[in-house]
A = this chain, B = another copy of it.
């Protein structure tokens, strides 16, 4: 059986072997994960995928079949393959917890390890975090326009494969969704699986009323009738009302706690408003109106703005495929390495100034206003730096020093974004339950002022690099210019 130890790009193996042959493979180094641009033209990204990274790193061993396969490629020496048989991750990983709200340029995960270990992790680690963070972010955008209505993830059939469906449903939950239609994911992660009927149910009976009655006989407490199979307002809603009336009579005048209709086509604003009137007139004021059909945050915002009487939402395709920005461009770059006992910060140079990376072993400090609990901004700094909250602090952009805010002593607190996950190969992180992650995610989004939740053209959250990091970066840039390789 081949294992996920092969879940990487071929060049990671050719580089690992190259370093091995040069005896440079155990050079200790630091790699950073970060991204450059917010997805969906928004102001933030919601972190997800760390649990999958942890599972992957913990289980990272080469099976016999992995080795047999690598041997077959003809690219690797027996010495290197031998070495791989005992390969384990023995390094240290710090990362932003799932649910964290983060911004461009910030270190979101930091690996400090032998270089071959750091290299091997890159591809899979990037994939897990890029994918799941993207879906959690899309989900958060949807939640931000939905308010307190219920919202379920319905996307499996259009997902880009099993993991996209299963981990996507989990990421959506982290981003604020309530439930999923995906039974497998619900079972795996302890979410609530939801769903009632499809058009094929209605079409399996001579009339809609027959279909609804048959359903009601069995699922009196989970009654959502799909009313658009033939004609929503002329047939579907009246049929639903008739069956609701039958149920009410049978129950002596009461209704189950949850019941309603689902609209899956047509103009959802118009249909929901008309259906609401019909339901209200028949005395079913508590009936839910559930809407589905290619929804996303924009369509939902429009429907809300047009007074749609929708009380619960199902979002599928456009959430689960991260429509509009189907990839988060998170990258993983060398930030430094030890040469003997000396740590040598490293950076990627580029003619594009925004592609020049931040050198050194770094961390992210969040500065939070203690009065209103809102984020003032994030500081990317070197690992040994601290900010003293009992002193005034000048929070500034070293490239544009006139852009500065003075934080008065004892008016703000500092929170470290990155927490230890693995230390010297040992998992030290107490993995939170998904429910805990969800709560943390809600707290995190509360750190932002509402303007940062705007769907388009949101202002940028302030992220500065520290003066010391700025000095280091400038020094390395100047050295490079003076010392062409």
Contacts and interface: CB of A to CB of B under 8 A. Distances in A.
Contacts of A194: 10
A470 interface: no
Interface in A176-233: 181-184, 186-188, 193-201, 203-204, 206-209, 214-215, 217-219, 222, 229-231
A81 interface: no
Interface in A95-149: 115, 119, 122-124, 126-128, 130-132, 134-135
A246 interface: no
Q: In this complex, which of A9, A188, A329 has the most chain B Cβ atoms within 10 angstroms of its Cβ?
A: A9
Contact of A14 (B199, B222, B349): B222
Contacts of A187: 2, 6, 66, 69
A353 interface: no
Interface in A439-485: 480, 484-485
Contacts of A300: none
A84 to B, nearest CB: 12
Interface stretch (A162-170, A252-260, A280-288, A409-417): A162-170
A11 B157 contact: no
A230 B124 CA distance: 27
Nearest to A214: B22
Residue from A132, A159, A485 having most chain B Cβ neighbours under 10 A: A485
A186 to B, nearest CB: 8
Contacts of A235: 484-485
Contacts of A130: 157-158
A389 interface: no
Interface residues of A, number: 110
Nearest to A331: B157
Interface string A414-425: 000000000000
Contact of A333 (B19, B188, B197, B200): B200
Contacts of A398: none
A159 B10 CA distance: 16
Nearest to A234: B484
Contacts of A128: 161
Contact of A168 (B157, B160, B321): B160
A78 interface: no
A184 B70 CA distance: 10
A405 interface: no
Nearest to A132: B161
Given A15-B197, A131-B159, A321-B321, 9 more contacts: A10-B186, A17-B218, A123-B157, A160-B326, A203-B346, A206-B485, A230-B484, A265-B355, A317-B327
Interface of A: 2, 4, 6-15, 17-19, 21-22, 24, 27, 31, 66, 69-70, 73, 75, 115, 119, 122-124, 126-128, 130-132, 134-135, 154, 156-168, 181-184, 186-188, 193-201, 203-204, 206-209, 214-215, 217-219, 222, 229-231, 234-235, 265-266, 317-318, 320-323, 326-329, 333-334, 337, 346, 348-352, 355, 480, 484-485
25 contacts: A2-B184, A2-B187, A2-B188, A4-B162, A6-B184, A7-B165, A7-B183, A7-B184, A8-B182, A14-B195, A14-B196, A15-B200, A27-B204, A70-B183, A75-B222, A115-B204, A127-B157, A127-B165, A131-B160, A132-B161, A199-B333, A230-B480, A235-B484, A321-B322, A326-B326
